[in-house]
Structure 1
């Protein structure tokens, strides 16, 4: 499947909206204690700010620093609102954090590229290695660490744009990127991505929200029930680079086809080589697709006490599940509580890791004259 297939009918409906001049709100929203003025800062000559969105029963706070979801509030089974995304109460919190990807837009290429090298059209490109011997999530100067321009904003949506210049983080081509966050009437946050380039370049965009459906700072997520619609996953080496290809999940700790608590099989971390490499879950899942490129169900998470449920749908072929294995309490969020070991998880819709170096994986190469478009939906409800 070629990544740049146009999904104009699907995306057009989600992207169409009445825009107005973006006006960050200075007031506090119902669920948030966040203040826009704490996000107003000049970085590299550009201004950061905070924007509040609301629709149906959900609310979101977005900053153009890294295109981050700062918070997302949704009700539990008793109607009590809770913020289920890890984040900070100011820009300074993000600038000082040990973990750099909280809630951020990721690019040019999400996930890892082995040894920071790939060959395209006969030319080898070298990228900075920021994850041991590998390049991760676009490098230190990736999309998580830049100031996005706010193209438009309404009460329920925001459109962010960024020009990634030729040679930025070693990637070829001037890449024009547009991302929309939309809260729709079905209690969904819809993430729509679009990009064009003037040189062939790899592109694999995603969002790196850390979720805890019990609420930020509410303890372990190991008891939350995860379902992943995948018959296969991607085994990795000790540096988390894919091996030969995908393998069946059946009979392994990676079988989430029937929902189970995230921590059910973590006791095997010393005996299962893949969990040991993690350490824990930090793996790509090959999603089941009837038709390549279709919008389809990817995953569900249910928090049993609050009853909060999150469903994920995506046009992407894969999903990276990360279980918060490297969180160690170094960062303290907007709740005033430290982010501790396995107290959040990430579910990143994406293409496969190290795709530029694996011809058996779906291509992520975007060429001049083509348009990259993809979309993922995170839907919220409750289980009584």
Structure 2
């Protein structure tokens, strides 16, 4: 059943979780781009963007129904939290107290632990006077081991082919927080093959190398003279299989690029990355106020999930540009802080700007 929300947003009864909880799907359409959003995970489920002839195609990887999002596809398009990316051993010290998050990936906690925000059913409300939806969640004290009751909101607003994602959060006790969106993009269209021909540019002079478990080593490594130099646009396929130990460890690109000087790491939203697909002419620019962007070419996708277009998702079926704080920041005092204090309000914004050229 659908009902109109203004003239551009539609809410649908899209399915139910195992406990019977209904899940809605919202559609934002500004006349140029149409975005499907799902309450389970406060996620991006679809993005229909025009090519240079004005023909729309879905450029976000995802699924046609709810079931895959409750299983192995839980990260696709989802809001990730409380802590995006990895924490070493799931352990850190906060205000002199040991905190333990259950490890879920090679001995480390990843994307918030075993029951992350991507598995939560968020409440949703239209944004008054805009083509947008505001999602809200209360994460209780001790959720996956994180201290503090956290009130978090994610607001999506679509205007002029620009999807703005605003994050807000408050806590009643000192905690750590790292929020992002885990959309996979294929600008040729979902199910069209790999992103090897996509031209990618990332506005960063340094990146964070990985250890064998996917954690940052703590080094800030210059991109110059390495396959990680994306300061000028290059095809993904030209670099992803280069003979480089870091590309082997990441199964391609799965690295955080440094967008801001440290310490501090906060500034106004600025250009972070650009992706262009030459055949369709579609271009995606990513702007953010976060200190890092995780560039991920989906090397861990195993071809076991079937997407909306009926194609399986294998390595490089899409790419992700996850704007965020640095991985394992609670264990690296040299990284920009991810600590959120009572009385403070966390706020951050990322923009996905779609165009053709």
| In the alignment, structure 1 residue 122 sits paired with structure 2 residue 81 | no
SS of equivalent to 2:67: helix
2:175 — aligned with what? 201
Q: CA deviation at 1:341?
A: 1.9
Distance 1:289 1:73 in 2: 35
Q: CA deviation at 1:343?
A: 1.1
Structure 1: runs of 5+ lacking an equivalent: 1-22
Alpha-carbon distance in 1 for matches of 2:31, 2:4: 21
Q: Look up the match of 1:262.
A: 236
> Structure 1: how far apart are the matches of 2:11 and 2:152?
28
SS at match of 1:381: strand
* Deviation at residue 133 of structure 1 after TM alignment: 0.7
Give me the whole-angstrom Cα distance separating, in 2, the residues matched to 1:282 and 1:320: 7
Q: How does 1:177-192 map to 2 (within 5 A)?
A: 177-185=152-160, 187-192=161-166
Mapped contact 2:11–2:26 kept (Cα < 8 A): no
Change (3 A) 1:370 1:62: same
Instruction: Indicate the residue corresponding to 2:322 in structure 1.
Output: 348
Per the alignment, residue 272 of structure 1 pairs with 244
Kindly state the Cα deviation for residue 265 of structure 1 after the two structures are TM-superposed: 1.9
**Residue pair 2:11, 2:27 contacting (<8 A) in 1 also:** no
Matched, 1:285 2:257: yes
Question: Structure 2: where are the runs of 5+ without partners?
Answer: none
In the other structure, the counterpart of 2:27 is 52
Select which of 222, 240, 247 maps to 2:196: 222
* Structure 2 residue 142 is matched with structure 1 residue 170: no
Task: Specify which of 312, 315, 326 is matched with residue 289 of structure 2.
Answer: 315
| Cα distance in 1 between the residues matched to 2:181 and 2:276 | 20
Aligned to 1:14: none
Tell me the CA shift for residue 46 of structure 1. Answer: 3.5
State how far apart, in whole Å, the 2-side matches of 1:121 and 1:368 are.
13
The ranges of structure 1 where at least 4 consecutive aligned residues each deviate by more than 4 angstroms after the TM superposition are 23-27, 42-45, 288-291
Partner residue in 2 for 1:338: 312
Distance 1:102 1:211, change over 3 A: same
Contact 1:229 1:288 in 2 (8 A): no
Task: Please report the RMSD computed on the Cα atoms of aligned residues, expressed in angstroms.
Answer: 2.2
Q: TM-score, normalised by structure 1?
A: 0.87
For 1:372 and 1:181, how far apart are their aligned partners in 2?
Answer: 17
2:338 pairs with one of 335, 360, 364: 364
Number of matched pairs: 352
2:134 maps to what in 1?
159
- Which residue matches 1:82? 57
Residue 36 of structure 1 pairs with residue 8 of structure 2? no
Does residue 1:106 correspond to 2:112, yes or no? no
- Cα distance between partner residues in 1 of 2:346 and 2:2: 29
Contact 1:188 1:380 (C-alpha < 8 Å) held by counterparts: yes
Question: Aligned residue for 1:212?
Answer: 186
TM-score, normalised via structure 2 length: 0.94
Alpha-carbon shift at residue 333 of structure 1 (Å): 1.1
Cα pair 2:127 2:134 within 8 Å, conserved: yes
Q: Name which structure has the greater RCO, CA cutoff 8 Å, separation 6+.
A: 1
Hey, what's the Cα distance between the residues in 2 that align with 1:216 and 1:151?
Answer: 28
Paired with 1:35 and 1:167, the residues of 2 have a C-alpha distance of 32
Tell me the CA shift for residue 327 of structure 1: 1.3
Counterpart secondary structure, 2:238: coil
- The secondary structure found in structure 1 opposite 2:237 is coil
User: Counterparts of 1:278 and 1:93 in 2: how far apart (Å)?
Assistant: 24
The alpha carbon displacement at 1:36 in A equals: 3.3
1:11 corresponding residue in structure 2: none
Q: Deviations over 1:134-182 (max 9, x none)?
A: 1000012000000001133567200000000000100000000011011
User: In the superposition, relative to structure 1, how do residues 267 and 140 fare at CA in structure 2: closer, same or farther (>3 Å)?
Assistant: same
Work out whether residues 253 and 265 of structure 1, in 8 Å CA contact, stay in contact via their aligned partners in 2.
yes
